[in-house]
């Protein structure tokens, strides 16, 4: 059939020039024009980058984007990485040819924020006047930047094999109290040897303190079981993750837990059921 006979009945007809324009190959200018016609306030792509990012970075990555788009129109295949939710940009050259250690080029100032503050800090230095003076200057600088000052009543200076004259000079420089090993850090003793029952007294005292605080509360049997599981056992586990507890300490802990379970106090008494049977699974009775 000759299309010339159908042309008078067609309302919208494109010219041959327009037909050639539709089927012509995609050029680099077409890709750039299409990207720059996208509104910068539109929702970002799956890679989390909006069109404003690609416009601003076009001098750097425009050539790679153009090649990828034109390859799609040639082969009909699109890389899966284009629709990925994460796109990593790798620079092809260093901004500055400098191998020295330095902060990021956009991090000009170093600021202090609240999350960097810790209640308990363990700071080490040499037991000499020069090192302690630098240490003191660092604390003063921290106080001037953050407004937080060290409490001399809660701070200690622990020395090892230091002469009496140096010991006195260092204590006067810092204004701290003298401490002795072993010390506690984050509730645990800093000790390299095997723990003794005396070293574990803070754990037993913590258990007694918690149980004594619950004596005035009317607790049911199920309530005491829940407190043992969620609070008292957690204290033992916290220590057991760092140290191998002595058998004598474990017996004292079991004694306190069993007494609290049956009597609600720390006063020793005869348990109704052996502790080994209490610790069995519920389905075993």
d(Cα 105, Cα 107) in Å, to the nearest integer?
6
What is the overall mean pLDDT for the chain?
76
Q: What is the pLDDT of residue 46?
A: 55
Whose tokens are 């004694």? That residue is 255
Per-position pLDDT tens, the chain of length 285: 555 655 565 556 667 777 777 777 888 888 888 888 888 776 665 556 777 888 888 888 888 888 888 887 777 776 665 555 444 555 555 555 555 656 666 665 656 555 445 556 777 888 888 888 888 888 888 888 877 788 888 888 888 777 778 888 888 888 888 887 777 777 788 777 788 888 888 899 999 899 888 887 888 888 888 888 888 888 888 888 888 888 999 999 888 888 888 887 877 667 777 777 777 777 775
Q: How far is CA 104 from CA 89, 95, 96, 109, in A?
A: 17, 11, 11, 10
Q: What is the pLDDT of residue 90?
A: 53
pTM above 0.85, yes or no: no
Q: What is the pLDDT of residue 6?
A: 56
Q: What is the pLDDT of residue 80?
A: 62
């Amino acid at each position: 059939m000759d299309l010339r006979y159908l042309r008078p009945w067609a309302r919208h007809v494109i010219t041959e020039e327009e037909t050639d324009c539709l089927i012509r190959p995609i050029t680099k200018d077409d890709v750039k024009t299409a990207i720059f016609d996208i509104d910068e306030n539109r929702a970002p792509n799956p890679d989390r980058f909006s069109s404003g990012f690609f416009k601003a970075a076009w001098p750097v990555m425009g050539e790679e984007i153009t090649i990828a788009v034109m390859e799609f129109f040639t082969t009909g295949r699109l890389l899966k990485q284009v629709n990925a939710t994460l796109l990593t940009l790798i620079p092809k050259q260093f901004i500055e040819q400098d191998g020295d250690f330095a902060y990021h080029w956009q991090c000009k100032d170093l600021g202090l924020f609240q999350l960097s503050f810790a209640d308990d800090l363990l700071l080490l230095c040499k037991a000499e006047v020069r090192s302690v003076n630098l240490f003191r200057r660092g604390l003063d600088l921290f106080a001037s930047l953050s407004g937080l000052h060290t409490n001399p009543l809660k701070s200690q200076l622990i020395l090892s094999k230091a002469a009496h004259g140096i010991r006195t000079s260092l204590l006067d420089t810092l204004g701290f109290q003298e401490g002795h090993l072993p010390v506690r850090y984050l509730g645990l003793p800093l000790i390299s040897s095997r723990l003794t029952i005396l070293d574990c007294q803070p754990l037993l005292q913590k258990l007694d303190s918690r149980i004594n605080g619950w004596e005035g509360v009317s607790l049911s049997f199920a309530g005491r079981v829940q407190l043992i599981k969620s609070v008292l056992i957690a204290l033992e586990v916290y220590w057991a993750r760092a140290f191998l507890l002595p058998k004598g300490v474990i017996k004292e802990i079991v004694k306190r837990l069993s007494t609290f379970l049956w009597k609600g106090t720390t006063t020793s008494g005869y348990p109704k059921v052996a502790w080994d049977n209490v610790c069995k699974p519920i389905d075993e009775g």
